[in-house]
Amino acid sequence: MDTYRIATIPGDGIGTEVVPAAQEVLERVGARFGIELAWTELEWSCEYYARTGRMMPEDGIETLGGFDQIFLGAVGYPGVPDHVSLWGLLIPIRRAFRQYVNLRPVTLLPGISSPLRDVPAIDFVVVRENNEGEYSEAGGRLYRGTADEVAIQESVFTRRGVERVMRYAYDLAGSRRGRLASATKSNGIIHTMPFWDDVFRELAAEHPGVETSEYHIDALSALFVLDPGRFDVVVASNLFGDILTDLGAAIIGSIGIAPSANLNPEGAFPSMFEPVHGSAPDIAGTGRANPLGQVWAGAMMLDHLGHADAAEAVMGAVSHVLAETGVRTADLGGTASTREVTAELLTALDREVAAR
Ligand SMILES: NC(=O)c1ccc[n+]([C@@H]2O[C@H](COP(=O)([O-])OP(=O)(O)OC[C@H]3O[C@@H](n4cnc5c(N)ncnc54)[C@H](O)[C@@H]3O)[C@@H](O)[C@H]2O)c1
C-alpha cells in the first residue's frame, strides 16, 4: 500500500460539495490500486475569514508543508472581496511551494457537445505561468477617491521564472504531438512580452524536435474558437493563461469539468490540485454542482503521484458516464445531482477496474 498525506481545503460554496464527491471516487480507485489517501480537512475559507480575519492561520503554509499534496475545492464568496480570498490563500500557496506550472488540460471528452459548430477533436494543454507575471503586488494607488486618483500595477517577469515554465512546456510538447504555441502581446506590451518572446525563441534552439508558433493573445483567443484542433501545448503568462483556460473550459462544454494542477515539478514541495471553476454561489447548496472538474483534478493528482494507471481508470469512468449514460448535471444539459453523478461514477469505476 502506498500512503499519501493529502490536505483538503474544500473552501467555499460548491467547493464543499464537489470535494467530498471526488474524495469518494479517489478512495474507491485507491482501494483497487493499493493507494491509501490519508486526508486531513482544513476549514480555511471565506467563512473562516469572517470568523478570524484571515483566510488561513498565520502558520498555514508551514502546516501545508507537512503534506504530500493539497486538494482544493474553491474559495470566494459574496461579502469577502475576491482579492482577499485569492491573495489570502491561493496565491501564497502557489508561491510558497513554487507551484510555478499551472497545467490545464483542454480536452473534449466523449459524449459532450462543444458549443462550437463542426468541432474537430479538441485535445491540448495550457501551461500557465503560476508564480509571477501580471499577478504581482508591485504598484499602488494614490489620491484615492479624488479626481487625481492614480492606480499603477507592475508586472514581474524574471528570466528564471519564464525559462522554467517554458522548459516545462517544451518538454511536455516533446512528449505529446511536438507542437508548442506561445501566447504573447509584444506589439502592445513592449517590455515584458518581447522578453517573453526572446526566451521562447532561445529555448526553441534547445528543442529542435518541437515545432513552435507565436500568437498575440487576441488572435489566439479567436483561434481557440475557430480552430482549436490546431493546438497541442500552449504556454502563457499568468494572466493570459488564466483567461485562456476559462475559454478552454467553455469550448469543452462546461467550466464544471475543467481541471487544474498547480505543480512544483521538482517535487520539493506539495503540489495543489483543484478545478478551474470557482465557488459558484449561484448554485451553491442546491446539490447540482458538476463534480467532474474536481474528479479530473483528482486524476491529475494520482498521475502526479506516479499512479498513471489509477488516473486512467478514473478518466475511463468519467468518459464512460458521459458517453454511455445520460447521467449529467444541468451545466451539461442534464438533470442529475452531484450525488447521482458520483454514484454513477463509482459504478463505472468498478466496471473499468474489472475490465482491466
Ligand atoms: N480557484 C478558485 O478558488 C476560484 C476560481 C475562480 C473563481 N473563484 C471565486 O468563485 C466565486 C465565483 O466566481 P465566478 O462566478 O466568477 O466563477 P464560477 O466558476 O464560480 O462560476 C461561473 C459560472 O459557472 C457555473 N459553474 C461553475 N462551476 C460549476 C460546476 N462545478 N457545476 C455547474 N456549474 C458550475 C456557476 O454556476 C456560474 O454560473 C468568486 O468569489 C471568485 O473569486 C475562485
Residue of higher predicted confidence among 40 and 355: 40
**Nearest CA residue ID for atom 4, ligand 1:** 278
Residue spans of the domains in the chain: they are 1-113+254-356, 117-124+132-252
The mean per-residue pLDDT over the stretch 81-107 comes to 95
What's the pLDDT at 299? 98
Q: How far apart are CA 107 and CA 112, in angstroms?
A: 10
Q: Is the pLDDT of residue 158 over 90?
A: yes
CA of 158 to the centre of ligand 1 (A): 31
**Nearest CA residue ID for atom 30, ligand 1:** 256
- CATH top-level class of 117-124+132-252: alpha beta
What does the mean pLDDT of the chain come to? 96
**Nearest CA residue ID for atom 15, ligand 1:** 280
Q: Considering only CA atoms, which of 298, 320, 335 is closest in space to residue 19?
A: 298
| Fold match between domain 1-113+254-356 and domain 117-124+132-252 | yes
CA of 220 to the centre of ligand 1 (A): 24
Task: Give percent helix, percent strand, percent coil of the chain, each to the nearest 5.
Answer: 45, 20, 35
232 φ/ψ angles, rounded to the nearest 5 degrees? -120, -65
**Nearest CA residue ID for atom 31, ligand 1:** 256
What's the pLDDT at 354? 84
Binned at pLDDT 50, 70 and 90, residue 177 comes out as very high
In the block, cell 483497487 appears at: 32
Q: How far apart are CA 194 and CA 184, in angstroms?
A: 8
CA of 326 to the centre of ligand 1 (A): 24
289 CB less than 6 Å from ligand 1?
A: yes
CA of 280 to the centre of ligand 1 (A): 4
Q: Is the pLDDT of residue 50 over 80?
A: yes
The mean per-residue pLDDT over the stretch 289-309 comes to 97
Pocket perturbation via mutation, ligand 1, pick of 277, 294, 329, 338 by most ligand atoms within 8 A of CB: 277
Q: Is the pLDDT of residue 356 over 80?
A: no
What's the pLDDT at 33? 95
What's the pLDDT at 305? 96
Q: Is the pLDDT of residue 64 over 80?
A: yes
The mean per-residue pLDDT over the stretch 293-322 comes to 97
The strand order across the sheet containing 123-129 reads 35-41, 2-11, 69-74, 271-275, 259-263, 101-107, 123-129, 233-236, 179-184, 211-216
Residue type, 161: G
CA of 277 to the centre of ligand 1 (A): 5
What's the pLDDT at 353? 84
Atom number, ligand 1, closest to the C-alpha of residue 274: 1
CA of 276 to the centre of ligand 1 (A): 8
The mean per-residue pLDDT over the stretch 314-332 comes to 96
Binned at pLDDT 50, 70 and 90, residue 164 comes out as very high
CA of 72 to the centre of ligand 1 (A): 13
CA of 40 to the centre of ligand 1 (A): 24
Q: Is the pLDDT of residue 1 over 90?
A: no
Q: How far apart are CA 242 and CA 155, in angstroms?
A: 15
11 φ/ψ angles, rounded to the nearest 5 degrees? 80, -125
**Nearest CA residue ID for atom 38, ligand 1:** 280
Q: Is the pLDDT of residue 52 over 90?
A: yes
Beta bridge pairs of residue 183: 215
Q: How far apart are CA 126 and CA 145, in angstroms?
A: 39
Q: How far apart are CA 212 and CA 201, in angstroms?
A: 9
Q: How far apart are CA 161 and CA 168, in angstroms?
A: 11
**CB-based contacts of 202: which residues, under 8 Å, 6+ apart?**
none
CATH of segment(s) 1-113+254-356: 3.40.718.10
**Nearest CA residue ID for atom 16, ligand 1:** 278
Binned at pLDDT 50, 70 and 90, residue 191 comes out as very high
Q: How far apart are CA 154 and CA 68, in angstroms?
A: 34
Q: Is the pLDDT of residue 198 over 90?
A: yes
What's the pLDDT at 352? 85
The mean per-residue pLDDT over the stretch 224-247 comes to 97
Which long-range contacts link 203-207 to residues 24+ away (Cβ below 8 Å)?
203/163, 203/166, 203/167, 203/170, 204/170, 206/170, 207/170, 207/171, 207/173, 207/174, 207/180
